[in-house]
A and B are shown apart, each in its own frame.
Chain A
Amino acid sequence: MIEMINVYKKYPNGIVAANGIDVEIKQGEFVYVVGPSGAGKSTFIKMMYREERPTTGDILINGVNLATLKANKVPYLRRQIGVVFQDFKLLPRLNVYENVAFALEVIEESPKVIRKRVMEVLELVGLKHKARMFPTELSGGEQQRVSIARSIVNTPKLVIADEPTGNLDPETSWEIMNIFEEINARGTTIIMATHNREIVNTMRHRVIAVEGGLITRDEYGGEYGYEG
């Protein structure tokens, strides 16, 4: 499904964030991306939804090469990928329902389908009863659940999460992780950058460690492997 071939990324300021990355991720996998801050973890994640473009090398997602993908095709790529962020990135002027529906309106889905799908995913994340509330009226955990609902509403095959529990207390983090587990159980690939040692060590999945722009470890059911 996802294949990175000899990916090298150098930013204009001279920092090398990827120094020859080779990796393959299959459909339905759950992958943690771990590593110290500034080790290239974010770049690794960002290159997968074409927020950053590799300097050299290829990134294939379902056969599409992101390294050569034209700018005007990027929106269509993003529609096949759900993205979840540490800071939720909800539209503050839209309520919960509208925020989730937005991802479907963008692809000009019919109102009937939109209504059905939005209600389904809000049910899945347990926020059906708060559909009319605005992001500022919700707790952090609830906002993250809205953002997850938005990322999966158009049934993407891949969900990318950049430290989704980074801003949440431990208990809420577990709730969020349960939702990701649920989504993964339905066959969606999940790639998650995280600093949360406890989660990685408890919910065992494939762990990819990135350091100095290189993959230093890649093991199934691995541990977090860094101190605190």
Chain B
Amino acid sequence: MKGRTIGRHFRDSLKSISRNGWMTFASVSAVTVTLLLVGVFVMIMMNLNKVADDLERDVEIKVIVDLTADEASITKLEEEIKKVSGVAEVVYSPKEDELNKLMLDFGDDLRLFEQQNPLHNVFYAKAVNPQETAAVAEKINKLDNTFEVKYGEGKIEKLFSFLNTSRNVGIVLILALLFTAMFLISNTIRITIVARRRDIEIMKLVGATNWFIRIPFILEGMWLGILGAILPITLVTVLYYNIHKVLEPKLAQGNLFELLDFSPFIYQVNGLILLMGVLIGIWGSFMSVRKFLRV
């Protein structure tokens, strides 16, 4: 195909966009609405995912050491915990430190106990895969000199199953939304093509090849996708900028989790929106024009 033919197709597709004013408007609106939904949803999902990761990373196993254990067996226990498969890191916290922590929370009244510290020495361990915390804790519990192993039994399982469910639901929703978007766009473009069924028939009569007919429609679909992506990209950017600005300082205080940084994230989301707009535009028109080429 010659260069000027491609240029002609580009001109043609743009001409068609402007001459089919209302149809263009309808298609672009459909693309806009769906991409906006997808964009907002991806934004929420990716942040939820980040929050989930942050929460998971905070899950730790508290290994309470027997009171009877002496220095040597504590060192030995530390070595053994490190050797347990699935353990990422182990931090030792002697009973003095534990008391200090309690005093931070409940005040200096507890200073009395400094003479006779009733607390146990403790190891804090983290699992390589937070989801396997329970199994790892179980293994540690079998070691000698452990008094008790805690990891927030019950709560952890609930948190994990909640996070997993919301992740899966999110993926399913995004897929469903994408599918709906494609269906919607291919239908809208099909309407514009039905309106130009005659055009295609005439093109075939004067000897246009199938690709010659198809390309302007496909380019048109691409323009519709790009036009439809403009508003969602703008809105999502403005929305996230403001949410980030308002929420970030508050979340920073909580120290539990953070939102994704504005900078690379918003470009990724916008790139995704644009790419999806273009792809569903092209795909939609390709599917729609296919039917009419078998004349």
Enumerate A154-180 residues with CB–CB distance to B below 8 Å. none
Asked if B199 is an interface residue, CB under 8 A from chain A, the answer is yes
Bitwise interface map of A from 69 to 113 toward B, beta carbon under 8 Å scored 1, else 0: 000101111110001000001111100000000110111101100
Number of interface residues of A (CB under 8 A): 24
Asked if B128 is an interface residue, CB under 8 A from chain A, the answer is no
CA distance A79 to B198 in the complex (A): 19
Whether B16 and A93, one on each chain, are in contact in the complex, defined by CB atoms closer than 8 angstroms, is: yes
Given A105-B8, A106-B208, A106-B212, A89–B198 Cβ distance below 8 Å?
yes
CA distance A106 to B206 in the complex (A): 8
Q: Which residue of B1, B8, B15, B207 contacts A76 across the interface (Cβ within 8 Å)?
A: B207
On chain B, the residues within 8 Å of A83 by CB distance are 205-206
On chain A, the residues within 8 Å of B209 by CB distance are 72, 75, 106
Whether B204 and A93, one on each chain, are in contact in the complex, defined by CB atoms closer than 8 angstroms, is: no
Asked if A195 is an interface residue, CB under 8 A from chain B, the answer is no
On chain A, the residues within 8 Å of B198 by CB distance are 89, 92
Q: Which residue of B2, B202, B204, B207 contacts A91 across the interface (Cβ within 8 Å)?
A: B202
Q: Which residue of B8, B16, B202 contacts A89 across the interface (Cβ within 8 Å)?
A: B202
On chain B, the residues within 8 Å of A75 by CB distance are 204, 207-210, 212
Whether B205 and A89, one on each chain, are in contact in the complex, defined by CB atoms closer than 8 angstroms, is: yes
Most buried by B among A75, A76, A91, A111: A75
Whether B206 and A103, one on each chain, are in contact in the complex, defined by CB atoms closer than 8 angstroms, is: yes
Q: How far is the CB of A127 from chain B (nearest CB, A)?
A: 18
On chain A, the residues within 8 Å of B203 by CB distance are 91, 102, 106
Which A-chain residue is minimally distant from B9 (CB atoms)? Answer: A105
Q: How far is the CB of B125 from chain A (nearest CB, A)?
A: 68
Number of interface residues of B (CB under 8 A): 21
On chain B, the residues within 8 Å of A145 by CB distance are none
Asked if A150 is an interface residue, CB under 8 A from chain B, the answer is yes
Which A-chain residue is minimally distant from B19 (CB atoms)? Answer: A93
On chain A, the residues within 8 Å of B66 by CB distance are none
The secondary structure that dominates the B interface is: helix
On chain B, the residues within 8 Å of A76 by CB distance are 207
Asked if B201 is an interface residue, CB under 8 A from chain A, the answer is yes
CA distance A83 to B212 in the complex (A): 19
On chain A, the residues within 8 Å of B205 by CB distance are 49, 51, 78, 83, 89
On chain A, the residues within 8 Å of B202 by CB distance are 89-91
Q: Which residue of A51, A79, A92, A111 contacts B207 across the interface (Cβ within 8 Å)?
A: A79
On chain B, the residues within 8 Å of A79 by CB distance are 206-207
Q: How far is the CB of B115 from chain A (nearest CB, A)?
A: 95
Enumerate B1-21 residues with CB–CB distance to A below 8 Å. 1-2, 4-5, 8, 15-16, 19
Enumerate B77-116 residues with CB–CB distance to A below 8 Å. none
CA distance A49 to B19 in the complex (A): 31
CA distance A106 to B202 in the complex (A): 12
CA distance A89 to B16 in the complex (A): 18
Q: How far is the CB of A115 from chain B (nearest CB, A)?
A: 13
Whether A89 and B207, one on each chain, are in contact in the complex, defined by CB atoms closer than 8 angstroms, is: no
On chain B, the residues within 8 Å of A77 by CB distance are 207
On chain A, the residues within 8 Å of B207 by CB distance are 75-79, 103, 106-107
Whether A89 and B19, one on each chain, are in contact in the complex, defined by CB atoms closer than 8 angstroms, is: no
Whether B206 and A102, one on each chain, are in contact in the complex, defined by CB atoms closer than 8 angstroms, is: yes
Whether A89 and B204, one on each chain, are in contact in the complex, defined by CB atoms closer than 8 angstroms, is: no
Whether B199 and A91, one on each chain, are in contact in the complex, defined by CB atoms closer than 8 angstroms, is: yes
Whether B206 and A150, one on each chain, are in contact in the complex, defined by CB atoms closer than 8 angstroms, is: yes
CA distance A5 to B190 in the complex (A): 41
Pairs A-B, 3 closest by C-beta atoms: A78-B207, A79-B207, A103-B206
Binding site for B on A (CB under 8 A): 49, 51, 72, 74-79, 83, 89-93, 102-103, 105-108, 110-111, 150
18 A-B contacts (beta carbon < 8 Å):
A51-B205, A75-B204, A75-B208, A78-B204, A78-B205, A78-B206, A79-B207, A83-B206, A89-B198, A89-B202, A92-B199, A93-B19, A106-B203, A106-B209, A107-B207, A108-B4, A110-B4, A150-B206
Besides the known contacts A102-B206, A106-B206, 19 further A-B residue pairs in the complex with CB atoms under 8 A apart:
A51-B205, A72-B210, A75-B204, A75-B207, A75-B208, A75-B209, A75-B212, A76-B207, A78-B204, A79-B207, A89-B202, A92-B198, A93-B16, A93-B199, A103-B206, A106-B208, A106-B209, A107-B207, A111-B4
